[in-house]
Every structure is written in C-alpha cells, then in structure tokens.
Amino acid sequence: MSFSSLDFYLATVVVIFGVDVLSAWGLNLQYGYAGIPNFSFIVFQAAGAYTAAILTLGPMTATSGQTYVAGTHVPFPVALLAAVAAGAALSAVIGVFAMKRMRADYQAAILLILALILNQFIVTDTSLFNGTSGLANVSRPLGSLVNPSTTGWQWAYAALVWAICAVVLFAVQRLSRSSWGRALRAQRDHDAAAAALGCNVVALKMQVFVIGGAIAGLSGGLLVFYLQAFNTASWGYEETLAIFVSILIGGVANNWGVILGTFLVQIVFVEVPNLLPQFGYIGLVDALEWVVIGLLWMAAIALRPQGVIPERRVRAERFGLPALRRALPAATAAAAPGQQGAHEERLGATGGASRR
Amino acid sequence: MLAPGDLRPLVEVCDLVVSYGAVRAVDGVTISVAPGEVLGIVGPNGAGKSSLLAAVGGQLRPTSGQIRLDGVDVTKLPPHRRARRGVVRTFQDTSEFGRLTVFENLLVAGLGMHGASLYAATVGARAQARRTATAAERAAELLARFELEPMRDTYAMELSGGQRRLVEVMRGLMREPKLMLLDEPTVGVAPHLSEQLRREYRRIAASGVAVLMIEHVLEVVEEVSDRVVVMDNGSVIAEGTYDQVMQSQAVREAYLG
C-alpha cells in the first residue's frame, strides 16, 4: 500500500468512525437511556443520506443516468440541516404507532420488520432513490475552500465530522444528565412506576425517538457527502445490529463507552478485515465479519451486559448533599441489619445486568 | 380534631366495573376514603382487589363507573395525570428503578421532576435546577427519616426486598401525595422492616393522606386500617371496622368457602 493510498484509507476510516460514533450516540439515547429497541435505526440514517443527496444533486435530467425525486441545489449546510430534519420527521411519523405502550419485544419486532419493508420499498420503487443502484455523483461540499480531489479535503472533512461529533457529544451528555434523561432511565427500568410518578412515558419515548432520529439523519448526511454515493445496500438491517453491538460492548447508557465500542466493532472488526488478504470464496471475509459480530453480541450479553465502560453511577454529592462517609461494612450492616447490597463500592460495576 | 370519617372523602369510587372479556373482575364497587384515613381491602385471591387499585391508579381503564378525586372526575385520566393530582402507589412486585441509585429513585419522583418537558431540561434549565435542589433536600430528609442514608448511592436493584419497599414508599412521599395506594405493602419484607413500614403507613395517614391498602396479612390490616372493606368475586361483601367485618357471616363464608 503506497503512502498516498494509506493516507486516503486512514482519512476514510476517521470519517466513517465519526459517522458511526454519531449513530451510536443516537441509538444509545434511544436504547441505552430509554430502552427503546430501535432495530430500524439505520433507516433514519438513510433518510438523512437520501435527503442530503437529492437536495444537492440538482434536478433530474435525461443525462443524469439515475432517477430520483425532488432534485434541487441547496448549499451544503442547508442540505445537512434538511438531513437532520428528515431523520426527525420520519421518526415522528413512525413513532406515532411504534412508541405506543407495548412490550419491548413486540416493539423490537415491529421496528425490525419496518426496516426490512422500507428497504425493500426503496429497492422496488426505483423512481424515488434509484433502487439498488442508488444515487451517485453527489458532489463533495466546501470545494471552494479545499480541492475536493485531494486527501487534504478528506482530512478537512474528517475534522468537520469530528467537530460536529464534539457538539453532539456535548448535547447528548447534557440531555442524558438532565432531569429529562433521568426520567428516561426511570421509565426504561419500570415504565408503570414512572407513569405512576407523573412521567408521561409515551411523550418521553416519542421525544427521544425523534432526537435519536435527528442524530441518525445528521450521520447519514455527513456520510453521503463523503462517499458521494448511497444505495439500498448501505442501509441493510444488519447495519443497525453492528451499532447495537458497539453500544453493548462499549457501555450501555455511557456515551464515552460508546466511542470505545464503536472503535472496537466498526473499526477493528468491520474495517480492518478489509485490509487482510482475501481468502476462500469471494464474500467469505464479509460473511465471517457478521459471524464475528453475532458472536460478540452473544459474548457481551453473557459476560458483560453493562459493557466495558458501564453506565456511570450518579452520586448524591452531585446534588449538594454532604459527602457520605464511606461506611465500613459493619456500620452499614448496623443501619440495615441482615440486609445485603450495602457494599456498593465492591458491587459497583455489576450495574446494568438487570431486567435486560 | 376531626375524626377521619367527618371529612369529605378525598377519593370516591362509584359503581365501578372492570371487565376482562366476559369476566367481571370488579363488579359494581362503591367505596370512598377520607383524608387521613386508611382503608384496608381484604378478600380471597381473585376477589378483584388489585384490579380495583389499578383502576383508581389509572393503570386499568374501568369498563364503567366513576372515580372522583377531590370531587373531580378522573376516570378517564392516564396514570401520569392522576399522579400530578396527588395519587401515588406501590406495586405488588416492587417497582424500583433498578439502575438508578436510591437517591435518583427519589429525585425522579420529586415534584416537577417528571421530565416530560424537554424545554425544562434544556432552555428552562435554571428553573429546573431550583426544582432539583428542592427535590434533593426533600430526598435527603426522607433518607434520614427512613434510615437509608448509607444506601443512597446504591443501585436500587442491589437492595433487599424490604428496602425496595421502603424506596417505593419514600418515592411516593417525594410527591407530597393526597392519596396513596398500597398493594400488599408488607409482602416479602423482613419483620423489622415490616414493623417500620407499618409505623410509616400510620404516620403518612396522620399527615392527612388518604391511604387505600390491599393486604393479605390480617394482623397488618387490623393494626394499620381505620376501616376495612371485604371483597369477594368482584363485589364488596362487608364494610366497617376490622372487628365488625370479621364477625360478618358473609366474610366467614367467603374465607372458609
């Protein structure tokens, strides 16, 4: 591999990593904090990607060589915001029936089936986004600043993606630590009890579903401007599974842990195999990738369901209470004779294992 | 001082019916509870006690009949709207938020902390911070009163059954409730905690809260309740003080078959 192609490859990995981290934060809000098993998450990324593409491709002409709807030219930032809006709007529509009170396993099934149906729909109706061939020739933005055909542009775009990641991280951390985030986690652990304490569970779920969808749309927009192309194979349902595994491995309801999980799953297990020498029949390495992801999922659930970096314990000190003297086990036992569970420092990391 | 019965009832249940298909789990029940009063509901399994409680809490939509809270018809209100009007409850299986600490379990329940408003969590963050501070203060008081201070940073799922029950009751008290619904509030609780809980239930009632309690252990019913309703097959078969209902022929038949 020559230096320039390595440079090209590295920049691509950095961009994809950023996009995947964004997606994982979006899904972590929905699944990690709110307990919504959104198996159609990738659909909302696709909504953002297609929206950004058609808004910059320009009107369809006889020589476009591809069919799509509503082609127009808008500036890059507008197209990116439209991608966010598309993810949010589609989430709002789907959320109306998918966020009703129902058992989580039914909800998971509905959302998974929805992902399959919508993908098939776009495959079949080629007039919308050109079916399996998908949209191509999306122009790279900010071409007036950096020559888009250089690796310099790639690195500049990578920097933009990660700057956006920093803003989104700030936002998701702030949201998840707020009283709103606490109410989300409460209804995740026991929805009837949360409702009985005044939480409007359906509204909470709807809100987090739309916010997660907006982040998914953003990630899709950023992705399509880098890849310059997007088709139905880019958003198979299994892409959502890879994001789920990233969250499960990195840390459910821990936005920092999710960065680590995304690195391990999307980069080490999905990207690096592309560098390995191919062996066996064509497609074997790809297939093995999914086998590994499936095994990782099972291993994570069996061995460490809270992830490598578990959800952070929120201590009462944060709310201005005097620091708790670290009670000796004997002293704690005296306060609650015969009870266990007082030795929380030792139990610390066992969180997250329940109810899932 | 007024005796509990002298006050206007806080909650009135009129001719309530809850059906599951052809089965009438609650079949025309009329009861009321006054502020400061503990009404115990007893009856054999399948008598419709839990369905009655769920209908009052809003977890179940009744087939017919009316539930009034403070004179206002709340029959059609969802549970979170009833909660905001001062109804709290415990569940037969404890309902702690397992991966929240004890302290956070209380904080979620604080008034104005229900988080349904994204606006409050973001744009209105300053006002929300004030509400959080108030809730944190109240949580600290309750932790001291229930002697759970050492456990405040413990995940609720790591607590014993009795401690979980305490957390549920404390969570209810965070809301300064008017009506507390208790579903078998001493089941699975170690004896010394059961004693503490029974004292607290009396104390909660004494502070003016109306308490509606389902309880199988007759000893607890006798100790805690001001008045007892006996249900069988979805209907009320006796009502009165503990001693009165225990002498009723219908009650003996229901229990002894």
Q: Per residue in B205-239, pLDDT tens?
A: 999 999 999 998 888 999 999 999 999 888 898 88
Cβ distance A332 to B122 less than 8 Å, yes or no, reads no
Burial of A281 (0-12, 13-18, 19+ CB in 10 A): exposed
Spatial neighbors of A212 by CB under 8 A, at least 6 apart, are: A26, A27, A29, A30, A36, A38, A41, A44, A91
What CA–CA distances, in Å, run from A284 to A226, A276, A354, B13, B121?
A: 27, 12, 37, 67, 49
Kindly calculate the radius of gyration of chain B based on its CA atoms and give it in whole angstroms.
Answer: 19
Asked if the C-beta of A319 comes within 8 angstroms of chain B's C-beta atoms, the answer is: yes
pLDDT of residue A277: 76
Query: Which is more confident, A134 or A194?
Result: A194
Cβ distance A201 to B160 less than 8 Å, yes or no, reads no
| Of B217, B212, B232, nearest in space to B53 by CA | B212
pLDDT of residue A151: 85
pLDDT of residue A329: 52
**Alpha helical stretches, state H, B32-117:** 49-57, 79-84, 102-109
CA distance B257 to chain A (A): 35
For A214-234, the pLDDT digits (tens) are 999 999 999 999 998 898 888
* Minimum CA–CA partner of A207 in chain B: B118
pLDDT band at B97; cut points 50, 70, 90: very high
* Per-window interface: A 169-208 vs B, CB < 8 A: 174-175, 178-186, 188-190, 192-201, 203-204, 207
Cβ distance B98 to A189 less than 8 Å, yes or no, reads yes
**In this structure, how many other beta carbons lie within 10 angstroms of the beta carbon of residue B64?**
12
Cα of first residue to Cα of last residue in chain A, in angstroms, is 45
* Minimum CA–CA partner of B161 in chain A: A339
Token readout for A35 is 């307990």
For B26-78, the pLDDT digits (tens) are 999 999 999 999 999 998 888 889 999 999 999 999 999 999 999 899 999 99
Query: Which is more confident, B183 or A1?
Result: B183
CA distance A159 to chain B (A): 27
Among B96, B153, B168, B196, most A C-beta atoms within 10 A, so best to mutate, is B153
Which of A183, A203, A342 minimises the CB distance to B150? Answer: A342
Residue B209, in any domain of the structure: yes
Whether the CB-CB separation of A238 and A227 falls below 8 Å is answered with: no
Cβ distance B99 to A207 less than 8 Å, yes or no, reads no
* Minimum CA–CA partner of B141 in chain A: A321
For the cut 60, the answer to whether the pLDDT of residue A355 exceeds it is no
Cβ distance B101 to A316 less than 8 Å, yes or no, reads yes
- What does pLDDT average to over chain B? 87
**Residue A298 is which amino acid?**
M
pLDDT of residue A344: 37
| Of A18, A25, A30, A33, nearest in space to A312 by CA | A33
Average pLDDT rounded to a whole number, residues B149-168? 90
Secondary structure class of B115 (helix, strand, coil): coil
Place of tokens 């890849």: A227
The string over A34-51, giving b where at least 16 C-beta atoms fall within 10 Å of a residue's C-beta and e elsewhere, is: bbbbbbbbbbbbbbbbbb
For A278-308, the pLDDT digits (tens) are 777 877 877 888 888 889 888 888 888 777 8
Cβ distance B99 to A311 less than 8 Å, yes or no, reads yes
pLDDT of residue A339: 42
For the cut 90, the answer to whether the pLDDT of residue A172 exceeds it is yes
pLDDT of residue B6: 57
pLDDT of residue A25: 96
Among A187, A197, A207, A317, most B C-beta atoms within 10 A, so best to mutate, is A197
**In this structure, how many other beta carbons lie within 10 angstroms of the beta carbon of residue B187?**
17
For the cut 90, the answer to whether the pLDDT of residue A273 exceeds it is no
pLDDT of residue B186: 87
Secondary structure class of A87 (helix, strand, coil): helix
* Lowest mean pLDDT, pick from A232-241, A285-294, B116-125: B116-125
Cβ distance A186 to B97 less than 8 Å, yes or no, reads yes
Whether the CB-CB separation of B110 and B134 falls below 8 Å is answered with: yes
For A77-112, the pLDDT digits (tens) are 999 999 999 999 999 999 998 888 888 889 999 999
| Of B51, B220, B246, B240, nearest in space to B256 by CA | B246
Q: CB-side exposure of B39: number of CA atoms within 13 Å?
A: 29
Give B188's contacts in chain A (Cβ within 8 Å): none
Structure letter (DSSP) for residue A135: B
d(CA A339, CA A346): 15
pLDDT of residue A61: 76
Pairing of strands B227-232, B38-42: parallel
pLDDT of residue A326: 58
Among residues of chain A, what percentage have pLDDT more than 70? Answer: 89
The string over B97-115, giving b where at least 16 C-beta atoms fall within 10 Å of a residue's C-beta and e elsewhere, is: bbbbbbbbbbbbbbebbbb
Which of B95, B101, B118 minimises the CB distance to A180? Answer: B118
Among A99, A174, A179, A325, most B C-beta atoms within 10 A, so best to mutate, is A179
For the cut 60, the answer to whether the pLDDT of residue B3 exceeds it is no
Q: Could you tell me the residue ranges of all domains in chain A?
A: 3-236, 323-350
Query: Which is more confident, B190 or A334?
Result: B190
For the cut 90, the answer to whether the pLDDT of residue A352 exceeds it is no
Secondary structure class of B178 (helix, strand, coil): coil
Residue B56, in any domain of the structure: yes
Cβ distance B79 to A184 less than 8 Å, yes or no, reads no
Whether the CB-CB separation of A190 and B95 falls below 8 Å is answered with: yes
Give A316's contacts in chain B (Cβ within 8 Å): 101, 103, 136, 139-140, 152-153
Give B160's contacts in chain A (Cβ within 8 Å): 336, 339-341
d(CA B151, CA B144): 11
Residue B189, in any domain of the structure: yes
**Alpha helical stretches, state H, chain B:** 49-57, 79-84, 102-109, 118-121, 125-145, 161-174, 191-206, 218-224, 242-246, 249-256
pLDDT of residue A336: 45
pLDDT of residue A3: 56
Give B78's contacts in chain A (Cβ within 8 Å): 195, 200
pLDDT band at A57; cut points 50, 70, 90: confident
Average pLDDT rounded to a whole number, residues B2-9? 61
Spatial neighbors of A156 by CB under 8 A, at least 6 apart, are: A142, A145, A146
* Minimum CA–CA partner of B136 in chain A: A319
For A116-170, the pLDDT digits (tens) are 999 999 888 878 888 777 787 888 888 778 888 888 888 999 999 999 999 999 9
CA distance B142 to chain A (A): 13
pLDDT of residue A319: 82
d(CA A67, CA A223): 21
Cα of first residue to Cα of last residue in chain B, in angstroms, is 42
Residue B242, in any domain of the structure: yes
Whether the CB-CB separation of A17 and A226 falls below 8 Å is answered with: no
d(CA A51, CA A87): 9
Residue B136, in any domain of the structure: no
pLDDT band at A46; cut points 50, 70, 90: very high
Secondary structure class of B14 (helix, strand, coil): strand
Domain containing B213 equals 4-96+159-256
Whether the CB-CB separation of A221 and A53 falls below 8 Å is answered with: no
Whether the CB-CB separation of A182 and B171 falls below 8 Å is answered with: no
pLDDT band at A320; cut points 50, 70, 90: confident
Residue B153, in any domain of the structure: no
CA distance A33 to chain B (A): 10
pLDDT of residue A342: 38
* Lowest mean pLDDT, pick from A55-64, A190-199, A250-259, A329-338: A329-338
Query: Which is more confident, B254 or B76?
Result: B76
Give A339's contacts in chain B (Cβ within 8 Å): 159-160, 162-163, 190
d(CA B248, CA B240): 10
For A179-188, the pLDDT digits (tens) are 899 999 999 9
**In this structure, how many other beta carbons lie within 10 angstroms of the beta carbon of residue A3?**
7
pLDDT of residue B33: 94
Q: CB-side exposure of A131: number of CA atoms within 13 Å?
A: 10
CA distance A34 to chain B (A): 12
Asked if the C-beta of A327 comes within 8 angstroms of chain B's C-beta atoms, the answer is: yes
The domain that contains B16 carries what CATH number?
A: 3.40.50.300
For the cut 50, the answer to whether the pLDDT of residue B196 exceeds it is yes
Among B158, B169, B173, most A C-beta atoms within 10 A, so best to mutate, is B158
What's the total number of domains in chain B? 1
CA angle A266, A267, A273 (to 5 degrees): 105
Token readout for B152 is 């405040």
pLDDT band at B7; cut points 50, 70, 90: low
Residue B239, in any domain of the structure: yes
User: ipTM of this predicted complex?
Assistant: 0.88
For the cut 50, the answer to whether the pLDDT of residue A354 exceeds it is no
